[in-house]
Structure 1
Amino acid sequence: MKIFEEIESEVQSYARAFPRVFNKAQGSYLFDEEGNRYLDFLAGAGTLNYGHNNPVLKKKLVEYIMDDGITHGLDLHTKAKGEFLEAFKQYILEPRGLEYVMQFTGPTGTNAVEAAMKLARNVTGRENIITFTNGFHGCSLGALAATGNSHHRGAAGTGLGGISRVPFDGYLGDGIETTEYLDKVLSDSSSGVDHPAAVLVETVQGEGGINAASMSWLKNLELVCKKHEILLIVDDIQAGCGRTGTFFSFEPAGINPDIVTMSKSLSGYGLPFAVVLFRPELDQWKPGEHNGTFRGNNLAFVTAKVALETYWRDDSFAKEIQRKGAYIEARLNDMAAELGEGNFSVRGRGMMRGINCISGELASKITRECFKHNLIIETSGADDQVVKFLCPLTISDDELRHGLDIVESAIRLVCKGEDTVPSCMEKYSISPGEQCSRL
């Protein structure tokens, strides 16, 4: 650990919560240098929906590398890119009746958000963009302006403009339809809200506390956008790629966003990869107007194509996610009812879930207790008050049950003083070249 203390910046965060040196991973598990295994309910903050070192994806990636496939190609046409585009069209766009063009941005989600905002402003000729309370869209300056969290915004060191923020669904309490407020301020020339280029929204706010918008709210939001001739941008960077139970998180609402941003689990393998999808008539970019050295990761094209072919050929994988999501929801509801003394609540959709513990201190105690028993799980929300579940979508039923058992027992210990946390401490002697086949 000494080298990290000597050289690495203080900006590190996850390493503080999980102070181990990890050197191997497979499926739903991480391994540290001492051979201890940890059940992973963080999964790269939603980047590893198909698990660590997914064997199907890994096989094709290794073959591609060994055949001297293109690693870096700027935005040149490559075979890997073409095959990914064909697969995305066949398995994602056409079955959903979507006609999007795809822009390859820099390889991070925040760059996709930057491009989406820039495109909306250029197409409409307007500057203002509507975003929502508790939204999180990235830490580069444009995306950061759209982010609500004061901790991240405070690090900007400069003014963050071009944004008007309005209440997300449920922010003002039950029974208050915040899209009506948005419609009102957009209809009133004296509201002080400039006519916006776009509305930028997460259907489920990941970093904001697993706040899930209702289907009716999303439908109303689309109607408001159409009424006022505003582009609707859905940030599907964390909630997309199946996390909520469908490939796109907005599918159950029956809406058709003008622009969609994607990253995180798009590559399927943890490789950096981000895109912006938008209606063809919005494709008004001039060549090179938004570029970057790493726009289009050919290794990610390979694994993303295999992920689409393997998991999204039909709806069977989506149904499995929904089934597991329902199990997580039921277990968390039971925990909240029994152990929360009427204060806990359950949030989210599909396998993107959270249990609101009200207090950030309490939630952190629970996640620390989980880590003592080899479960990696994080918190989210404005005050880190939500224990956040982002386990791989491919997790087995036994692994999922065991992880939830650890969480339940950790809550029981922290809230009730009942020490019943089951240990999943197992030590393996794994040589550097050995496969984790015993999992």
Structure 2
Amino acid sequence: MSKTNMEIFETLESEVRSYCRDFPTVFTKAKEHKLWDENGKEYIDFFSGAGALNYGHNDQKMKEKLIEYIMDDGITHSLDKATSAKAEFIEKFNEVILKPRDLDYKMMFPGPTGTNAVESALKLARKVTGRTDIISFTRGFHGMTIGSLSVTGNASKRKGAGVPLNHTVTMPYDQFVDEKDSLDYLERYLEDDGSGVDLPAAMIVETVQGEGGINAARFDWLKRVEEICHRFNILLIVDDIQAGIGRTGTFFSFEKAGIKPDIVCLSKSLSGYGLPFAVALFRPELDVWSPGEHNGTFRGNNHAFVTASAALDYWKDEKFEESIEQKSELTLTFLNEIVEKYPELNGKVKGRGLMVGIECENGEVADQVTSEAFERGLIMETAGMDGEVFKLFPAVNIDDAALKAGLEIIEESVRAVVKEPVTN
């Protein structure tokens, strides 16, 4: 097979392209935790499609179910018409995920991406409460459409909207200001009629902020957010698009905090196979939609229903969640050892479960680590306002040997950066 000319991308594709600049090669094949490029070089994937491939690439069982469905001429596109694939997913998700966790939610399929789920959640909260404002949190990221951008903290992303982003109020996330309890501040604003902050329709929060720098909120903080919402009759929206589906150890990232959000947004790894798929979950009494009031041409992605149903089989066995916990402990121990062994990194371990990373002195250092890792055959990205965190997103079902091999490459990369710093 002839090599792909990189000028195709450089000449014809928009300058907006991003990840191909960080990983400058042409990928041709992927399986489980591995990727291969057209030169035959093998990579361990600690990127996992930015959290859209929590089960790795081309999972065998999901692939077989999807091929079987396609070969039987199963429905592909259906809008929100009833299909057998959709019925199977709804019933299985309720039985395998919701009921065992004592969660009573209606399911809404708003469109295929995470920002579609967030937009529908914001719209629903405003419709239910009759209020306009939403409280979001510093460094949060919720999507790239206008409503989602309005509750996103990143200044450069917000600027891209090109218009004012209104009807939102930003409050400090957990430990954003170390010396103060951020929720005392928030609660005072809600209590004081002179604060200038109107009672909002909802608060939207990530339990672990992905793009914001792998910032993990304490469980007590999340519990108090829920209590404040209940006190003021504010709806609580948890954006579990990146942190959910096992990424932080449990199916929903909020389970260990002991909270039950009013609305939950899921996407990314929900399909299990990298197929576009999103859902908004909400308490039945919030289901005040009129038929067709919120819709989308691709809200009936039946191929994603098929693979998502197959992915739920992982969660039937309690040992699966236990295995994620074991891998999380191994990874956390490794990261703490890296920070201790290489003080020149000025590192700080962040995150929860298999959504973790090390905050470096600045973005330049983190970039150097990820670049060194790529040269050594490991793919991972950075996060944070300055890209100062190199983050680890291995598949949650990666085997221990592959996980350890990836961690060894990270140590080699860190050592190369701090012992042999790159000079411009």
State the Cα deviation string for residues 251-295 of structure 1 (Å, max 9, x = none): 001100000000000000000000000000000011111101001
2:352 is the counterpart of 1:338: no
* Residue number in structure 1 paired with 2:249: 245
1:28 equivalent among 33, 51, 55: 33
SS at match of 1:312: helix
2:339 is the counterpart of 1:347: no
2:289 is the counterpart of 1:291: no
User: Match of 1:76, as an amino acid?
Assistant: K
The alpha carbon displacement at 1:314 in A equals 3.0
SS at match of 1:371: helix
User: Match of 1:242, as an amino acid?
Assistant: G
The alpha carbon displacement at 1:296 in A equals 2.4
Aligned identity (percent) is 57
Instruction: Give the whole-Å Cα distance in 2 for the aligned partners of 1:296 and 1:244.
Output: 28
Indicate if the aligned counterparts of 2:345 and 2:360 stay in contact, CA closer than 8 A: no
The alpha carbon displacement at 1:179 in A equals 1.3
* Residue number in structure 2 paired with 1:123: 128
* Residue number in structure 2 paired with 1:326: 329
The alpha carbon displacement at 1:176 in A equals 2.6
Indicate if the aligned counterparts of 2:334 and 2:407 stay in contact, CA closer than 8 A: yes
* Residue number in structure 2 paired with 1:100: 105
Q: How does 1:1-400 map to 2 (within 5 A)?
A: 1-173=6-178, 176-309=180-313, 311-341=314-344, 343-400=346-403
The alpha carbon displacement at 1:358 in A equals 2.4
Instruction: Give the whole-Å Cα distance in 2 for the aligned partners of 1:183 and 1:314.
Output: 41
Instruction: Give the whole-Å Cα distance in 1 for the aligned partners of 2:347 and 2:274.
Output: 33
User: Match of 1:415, as an amino acid?
Assistant: V
State the Cα deviation string for residues 376-429 of structure 1 (Å, max 9, x = none): 11000000000011111111111111111111111111012299xxxxxxxxxx
User: Match of 2:288, as an amino acid?
Assistant: Q
User: Match of 2:132, as an amino acid?
Assistant: E
SS at match of 1:370: helix
State the Cα deviation string for residues 357-377 of structure 1 (Å, max 9, x = none): 120000001100111111111
Indicate if the aligned counterparts of 2:345 and 2:361 stay in contact, CA closer than 8 A: no
Instruction: Give the whole-Å Cα distance in 1 for the aligned partners of 2:96 and 2:421.
Output: 49
User: Match of 1:379, as an amino acid?
Assistant: T
User: Match of 1:233, as an amino acid?
Assistant: I
SS at match of 2:265: strand
Instruction: Give the whole-Å Cα distance in 2 for the aligned partners of 1:282 and 1:328.
Output: 40
Which deviates the most, 128-137 or 314-323? 314-323
The alpha carbon displacement at 1:94 in A equals 0.4
User: Match of 1:138, as an amino acid?
Assistant: G
* Residue number in structure 2 paired with 1:430: none
Q: TM-score, normalised by structure 1?
A: 0.94
User: Match of 2:207, as an amino acid?
Assistant: T
Indicate if the aligned counterparts of 2:344 and 2:418 stay in contact, CA closer than 8 A: no
User: Match of 1:208, as an amino acid?
Assistant: G
SS at match of 1:176: coil
State the Cα deviation string for residues 7-56 of structure 1 (Å, max 9, x = none): 11111000000011111100101111121111111010000011100001
* Residue number in structure 2 paired with 1:407: 410
Instruction: Give the whole-Å Cα distance in 2 for the aligned partners of 1:139 and 1:128.
Output: 19
Instruction: Give the whole-Å Cα distance in 2 for the aligned partners of 1:108 and 1:418.
Output: 40
State the Cα deviation string for residues 328-377 of structure 1 (Å, max 9, x = none): 11000010112134831101111110100120000001100111111111
The alpha carbon displacement at 1:92 in A equals 0.4
The alpha carbon displacement at 1:151 in A equals 1.6
SS at match of 1:301: helix
CA-based RMSD of the aligned residues comes to: 1.1
The runs of at least 4 aligned residues of structure 1 exceeding 2 Å deviation read 340-343
Instruction: Give the whole-Å Cα distance in 2 for the aligned partners of 1:16 and 1:64.
Output: 36
State the Cα deviation string for residues 76-125 of structure 1 (Å, max 9, x = none): 00000000011101100000010000000110000100000000001100
Indicate if the aligned counterparts of 1:177 and 1:217 stay in contact, CA closer than 8 A: no
Instruction: Give the whole-Å Cα distance in 2 for the aligned partners of 1:77 and 1:342.
Output: 54
User: Match of 2:157, as an amino acid?
Assistant: H
User: Match of 2:118, as an amino acid?
Assistant: V
Instruction: Give the whole-Å Cα distance in 1 for the aligned partners of 2:370 and 2:256.
Output: 31
SS at match of 2:131: coil
Indicate if the aligned counterparts of 1:366 and 1:411 stay in contact, CA closer than 8 A: yes
Instruction: Give the whole-Å Cα distance in 2 for the aligned partners of 1:176 and 1:249.
Output: 25
Instruction: Give the whole-Å Cα distance in 1 for the aligned partners of 2:95 and 2:30.
Output: 31
Indicate if the aligned counterparts of 2:106 and 2:284 stay in contact, CA closer than 8 A: yes
* Residue number in structure 1 paired with 2:3: none
Indicate if the aligned counterparts of 2:111 and 2:296 stay in contact, CA closer than 8 A: yes
Indicate if the aligned counterparts of 1:412 and 1:418 stay in contact, CA closer than 8 A: no
